[in-house]
A and B are shown apart, each in its own frame.
Chain A
């Protein structure tokens, strides 16, 4: 039963990683860039949600919706200002700009909201379901996180595979030039990708802080790096890969904390990543690209 408890909390943490990793993987798939500022968008989302709920007393779900709106807007603005002018630049320049953006968001948050940690109110209360006569307890937050992740996964897959915009996104990630010739507005599609990724980051922020209620300007960076790892783990650019990678990383992290050592859990997580990449260099579900001369 304890094992099952750990497993469920692993899946819950993994669900949060998966939602964040989706943002990384979608942006990577289409813009071929590692958006290091993504983790800080999570933090911004969590702060907007926090203020909406505790300062203005709004319904938690309205708070999350507001946070999503704010993050979507933020994602689009960041893309327009910082990344769009660098479309043709070498990838390292874009990487450094993304890192600069990450510092920018963190320090703006520091000025606006101070470095004092805020106690985030859970968006769904602190109750829990009792199963098997109380032997297994699953908190509401955990259940909500897992459910949200599943819904996002299904909706996003349908969006990507069935809608016209989704098709445009896939076309852009395959070949931008050809997509443009087919009449797809590439810039708008990239903006849309950033918007969706950032909106998801807001949800992830609210869920993350509901489960781990300390909110600081640096809250987003470590989950950001972990989620990025999860995206690579599953094969960066692949949406089911991000989902699988996120869940697995969460489960491994919780098990490592429970059964090996809580201080070394990060080392175990990254160690597993390395082993996976050695066996399968393009991640679990990544496409193996054949190099041609």
Chain B
């Protein structure tokens, strides 16, 4: 299916997709070799899994922002739904499934399902709105998810699973375990996320998104993005396609959240706030809207950058801010844009075509 679809694509399009897969695989092999030969510093090794999670987040948000053309400012909310449901699943399965990779896979699938459900619920009202109003409502939902998870308690004992809101009224039996502890989040997580698992998730996310984008539905997304009224007039069901993009994106974000959370021993809802949503949006915009490879590279660079700037200690976030502003000014400057196009032989050919 994938192959036939790729052959039918325009050559430029296919080249871009293979290039993306190729670069990701190559980067994985290099990092894995460097990591196993102890060439990589331990701080860098610790960042491999978060980088993969952010890459998936970038791909996921790119589907909404770049392909379907809606601004979402609450994507970290889906990540946190995924993180909490995924980790809780992994903890519940700890005794039943001792083999960690399978537990991780199941946790990620459950996380994706929960996040997709959240995406569906939020999508019903959100997708009726347009532009900046849609953006603010996604922001609002992100904050609501954070507030709710901050006040959510879940525990398990021999009597089953218990939930409560606001205060801990789960009243667990002896030997029970309180898994989600409101503002304290989840602690004592087994760190079962691995770099290979992260790599596989990135590849899966890319495959899903590329297949979706280059299908009938993907073309519908872009038609709606480019001209909503024209798309509607040729009979495209706008709500259906927008919902499809939104839910797929939420599911990927959920899986990324589970991967991310199981790289740490503790996770709290406040980790996934407005700033995280913005961080992911920055990956997408800096990498180029609709450009998956760009988003992935931006995610890697911008996650490593603050770490590398650590030697400037107090000045590092300031430098980060300045770099962000200068990059946005530079990429939108007509003269610099012309100059870059002239440097890049690939692009020039594309324009001639």
User: Do A and B interact?
Assistant: yes
Contacts of A232 in B (CB 8 A): 132-133, 136
The verdict on B333 contacting chain A, using a C-beta distance below 8 Å, is yes
Is the pair A266, B147 in contact by a Cβ cutoff of 8 Å? Answer: yes
CB closest chain-A residue, reference B74: A270
The verdict on A92 contacting chain B, using a C-beta distance below 8 Å, is yes
CB closest chain-A residue, reference B66: A92
Contacts of A175 in B (CB 8 A): none
CB distance from B151 to the nearest CB of A (A): 5
Stretch of A104-112, A119-127, A155-163 on the interface side: A104-112
A236 to B274, CA, bound (A): 20
Contact among B133, B150, B329 for A263, CB-based, below 8 A: B150
Contacts of B135 in A (CB 8 A): 34
Stretch of B4-12, B192-200, B217-225, B319-327 on the interface side: B319-327
The verdict on A278 contacting chain B, using a C-beta distance below 8 Å, is yes
Contact among B143, B314, B325, B333 for A97, CB-based, below 8 A: B325
The verdict on B180 contacting chain A, using a C-beta distance below 8 Å, is no
Is the pair B318, A107 in contact by a Cβ cutoff of 8 Å? Answer: yes
Stretch of B18-26, B41-49, B84-92, B280-288 on the interface side: B280-288
Contacts of A293 in B (CB 8 A): 229-230
Contacts of A88 in B (CB 8 A): 332
Is the pair A89, B332 in contact by a Cβ cutoff of 8 Å? Answer: yes
Is the pair B289, A111 in contact by a Cβ cutoff of 8 Å? Answer: no
A91 to B322, CA, bound (A): 19
CB distance from B183 to the nearest CB of A (A): 8
Instruction: Convert B144-157 into 0s and 1s, putting 1 for each residue whose CB lies closer than 8 angstroms to a CB of A.
Output: 10011011000000
How many chain A residues touch B (CB < 8 A): the figure is 44
Contact among A96, A107, A225, A229 for B328, CB-based, below 8 A: A96
Contacts of A34 in B (CB 8 A): 132, 135
CB closest chain-A residue, reference B326: A100
The verdict on A188 contacting chain B, using a C-beta distance below 8 Å, is no
CB distance from B128 to the nearest CB of A (A): 7
Instruction: Name the interface residues of A256-286: CB closer than 8 Å to any CB of B.
Output: 261, 263-264, 266-267, 270-271, 273-274, 277-278, 281-283
Is the pair A282, B318 in contact by a Cβ cutoff of 8 Å? Answer: no
Is the pair B318, A108 in contact by a Cβ cutoff of 8 Å? Answer: yes
- Binding site secondary structure of chain A: helix
The number of A-B residue pairs with CB atoms under 8 Å apart is: 122
Is the pair A100, B321 in contact by a Cβ cutoff of 8 Å? Answer: yes
Is the pair A267, B148 in contact by a Cβ cutoff of 8 Å? Answer: yes
CB distance from A46 to the nearest CB of B (A): 20
Contact among A90, A101, A270 for B140, CB-based, below 8 A: A270
Contacts of B65 in A (CB 8 A): 92
Is the pair B143, A270 in contact by a Cβ cutoff of 8 Å? Answer: yes
The verdict on A144 contacting chain B, using a C-beta distance below 8 Å, is no
Contacts of A283 in B (CB 8 A): 133
CB distance from B353 to the nearest CB of A (A): 24
CB distance from B47 to the nearest CB of A (A): 20
The verdict on A243 contacting chain B, using a C-beta distance below 8 Å, is no
CB distance from A199 to the nearest CB of B (A): 23
The verdict on B173 contacting chain A, using a C-beta distance below 8 Å, is no
CB closest chain-B residue, reference A271: B144
- Residue from B130, B137, B141, B230 whose CB has the most chain A CB atoms within 10 Å: B137
Instruction: Name the interface residues of A160-175: CB closer than 8 Å to any CB of B.
Output: none
The verdict on B315 contacting chain A, using a C-beta distance below 8 Å, is yes
Contacts of B166 in A (CB 8 A): 261, 263-264
Contacts of B147 in A (CB 8 A): 263-264, 266-267
CB closest chain-A residue, reference B328: A97
Is the pair A228, B136 in contact by a Cβ cutoff of 8 Å? Answer: yes
Contact among A28, A263, A281 for B129, CB-based, below 8 A: A281
The verdict on B317 contacting chain A, using a C-beta distance below 8 Å, is yes
Q: 10 nearest interchain CB pairs?
A: A100-B324, A270-B140, A267-B147, A103-B321, A104-B321, A89-B332, A100-B325, A107-B318, A97-B328, A107-B317
Q: Which residues of B contact A (CB under 8 A)?
A: 65, 71, 125, 128-130, 132-133, 135-137, 139-141, 143-144, 147-148, 150-151, 166, 229-230, 274, 278, 281-282, 285-286, 289, 314-315, 317-318, 320-322, 324-325, 328-329, 331-333
Given contacts A106-B317, A232-B132, A264-B166, 9 further A-B contacts (CB under 8 A): A96-B324, A99-B324, A101-B325, A261-B151, A261-B166, A263-B166, A266-B143, A277-B136, A293-B230
Q: Which residues of A contact B (CB under 8 A)?
A: 28, 34, 82, 85-86, 88-90, 92-93, 95-97, 99-101, 103-104, 106-108, 110-111, 225, 228-229, 232, 236, 261, 263-264, 266-267, 270-271, 273-274, 277-278, 281-283, 291, 293
